[in-house]
Structure 1
Amino acid sequence: MSTAVATPTVPAAAARPAALSPAPASMSRLFLVCVVLAICIWGGNWPVMKFGSQFIPPLWFAASRFLSAAILSFVIAVVLGKLRLPTRQEWPVVVGVGVLQMGLFTALVTGALHFVMPGRASLIAYATSIWVVPGAALVLKQKLSPQQSLATVCSYAGMAVIVLPALLHADLHSMIGYLMLGVASLSWAMNILQIKMSPGVKLDFALLPWQTLVAALPLSLLALAVDGAPSFLADPHAWGVIAYTGPLATALTFLIVLQMTQRLSPVTVSVCMLGVPVVGLTLSSLVFGERLSSDLVLGMGLLCLGLVLPALPSLGLRRLATKG
């Protein structure tokens, strides 16, 4: 987790009317490979987090991820000559992304993996946009189009299909995990709304080092107070997990996703990101034997439909339907 500066812009864009989205730019073969690579890395991050949660405490897991990502992003920013202090207008968004989307979201998701399997968890966590659409209507006073309303219904139906059967057969242990995922999803949604209320702030790479640092510092202090010294670092497996989730799945992958948000339309980016939980679920079924039950497949299909519906006009499907 899955999960980033450009990341919040993805589900936020999904709530945006497709008519306002610019036309998708063409993708070179190399850039397309980079996009697929980013999706696979983020999807693979879910089983990696599940594996790491067996020997790394949740708070230290989240803290080490963003500490390593902060160090790498600061180094890259210096090398590229892009390191600068955020402006007064940018600081609230930097803090919001660092605390809500990065720190709190990741800590809750990592903790939830102690209670639930990563495949179902990734689907719930990446369904954040279902809170953004009604939230935009209530907080930002944005009127929903008929397609957005239908997309919201499909998304909520998908969540119900995924969560309700599991809740009916869940014990207290699993219920805690689902509750943590729900709060994590809400945390991400709150940050998305904050970003949409700050249109003058551009989420470029120059802000990434500070956002990861804002996430890393309180998580490290909290982890030190709750779990004590990071004794897990004596385990050689921990270094491999941290290397994947921090520098690879956070810092470097965000470089690709930032390019996606700059070069492609928001709708295209949101559709591309649907591949993340699909990869996570597939790998989880292979590595941990998580069964692809009918409710999981149906729920995933409804969630995908809910996220794709706003893109239909931009894809020209309405004109095709009219001609037919």
Structure 2
Amino acid sequence: MVAQSAEASGFGHRWLLVLLVLTWAISWPIIKIGITTVPPIWYGCFRYIIAACCLFGLLAARRELVFPPRPDWPLVVVSGALQMAAYSALTGLALTVLPPGRASVLAFSTPIWVVPLAGWWLHEHVSRQAMFGVGLGILGVLAIALPSLHPDRVEQVLAYVMLMGAAAAWAISIVFVRSHRFTVSALALAPWQTLVAAGLLFPLAILVEGSPRTIGESGVASLVYVGPVATAFAYWAVVEAGRHFRASTMSMTLLAAPSLGILVSALTLGEPIGASLIAGVVLTGAGIRLATSAPQHSPIVASAEREN
């Protein structure tokens, strides 16, 4: 009976991981639809307000709601500001110009930038395999971006720069997590991180985009999915699945999200899939694979292990 229970639990968590990949893949075209009626920074603000309410409610129902201890507040602020607020604002602004499938590949290139950043910041050994993976990943990014790098396409160039900025912001957050000693669980900190993100995006949205306007039906429908599902549920699912799978398995599985996002975007929004995009996906995926599976103490792996 115990063996059957363990097997059923493992089966359930495998499906949870599959559901997480689908959730994130579907979210990109849905966000693209949402920001057609909601300005992108306001969209990110509303997204994290909804996610914060969901996560506070979940932890309250589980009687696990706690105020972050003082040692954890630097992590709450850094991850809320970089991994959530900056990442959401930059990707949202980029999505006003670029198709969601192409944008998702570049935004998920974060592991490529983590490797050299950890070597410089944390003085961690970086193997030749990892650096080769970084090189492949950069070639993949260039393969996706180069067709749009023309003087008369300034908006697209800026959009690619914003996506790289978003990936870099997430990478800095990951490396910061790597050096942090948790006093409570990652899930317990999650609602406070989303609250920080919403608090930072609110004044920025007023400054850049003005007072919030009436949200159309498509914007409401988009936020109903992205806030509770693609943000609150996804964060819980990452933590829950991470308790049962190796961090390397998690990072490799989640690589399927941008590739699947391209397919979903092509089917729903008619995004064209050309040779440069396919080459970019293959090179970026191979680069992340080599960088995260290299024989080193990866900050991506370590941060997930430490959170769980």
TM-score over 0.5 for the pair: yes
**Are residues 1:252 and 2:233 paired?**
yes
Q: Any residues of structure 2 matched to 1:53-72 within 5 Å, and which?
A: 53-72=35-54
The whole-number CA distance in structure 1 between the counterparts of 2:30 and 2:79 is 23
The whole-number CA distance in structure 2 between the counterparts of 1:175 and 1:111 is 12
The whole-number CA distance in structure 2 between the counterparts of 1:258 and 1:300 is 26
Q: Any residues of structure 2 matched to 1:187-266 within 5 Å, and which?
A: 187-200=169-182, 203-233=185-215, 235-266=216-247
Distance 1:148 1:226, change over 3 A: closer
**Are residues 1:35 and 2:17 paired?**
yes
Q: 2:97 is matched by which residue type in structure 1?
A: F
The whole-number CA distance in structure 2 between the counterparts of 1:168 and 1:126 is 24
| Selected match of 1:278 from 243, 259, 278 | 259
Q: Deviation per CA, 1:88-107, whole angstroms, max 9, x where unpaired?
A: 11100011110000001101
Q: Any residues of structure 2 matched to 1:1-324 within 5 Å, and which?
A: 28-168=10-150, 171-200=153-182, 203-233=185-215, 235-309=216-290, 310-311=292-293
How far apart are residue 224 of structure 1 and its match? 3.1
Q: 2:274 is matched by which residue type in structure 1?
A: S
Show structure 1 runs of 5+ residues with no match.
Answer: 1-24, 315-324
Q: Deviation per CA, 1:150-187, whole angstroms, max 9, x where unpaired?
A: 21122122112122233248611212211211211111
Quick check: 1:137–1:144 contact (8 Å CA) kept in 2? yes
How far apart are residue 32 of structure 1 and its match? 1.4
Quick check: 2:68–2:184 contact (8 Å CA) kept in 1? no
Amino-acid identity (%) = 33
Quick check: 2:13–2:244 contact (8 Å CA) kept in 1? no
How far apart are residue 273 of structure 1 and its match? 0.8
Show structure 2 runs of 5+ residues with no match.
Answer: 1-5, 297-308
Q: Deviation per CA, 1:229-258, whole angstroms, max 9, x where unpaired?
A: 33233x222221111110111001211111
Larger deviation: 152-161 or 62-71? 152-161
Q: Deviation per CA, 1:186-211, whole angstroms, max 9, x where unpaired?
A: 11111112111214456521111100
Q: 2:65 is matched by which residue type in structure 1?
A: L
The whole-number CA distance in structure 2 between the counterparts of 1:161 and 1:311 is 23
Tell me how large the CA RMSD over aligned residues is.
2.0
Quick check: 1:115–1:176 contact (8 Å CA) kept in 2? no
The whole-number CA distance in structure 2 between the counterparts of 1:101 and 1:28 is 29
The whole-number CA distance in structure 1 between the counterparts of 2:218 and 2:225 is 11
**Under a length normalisation based on structure 1, what TM-score does the superposition of the two structures give?**
0.84
**SS of the residue 2:149 aligns to:** helix
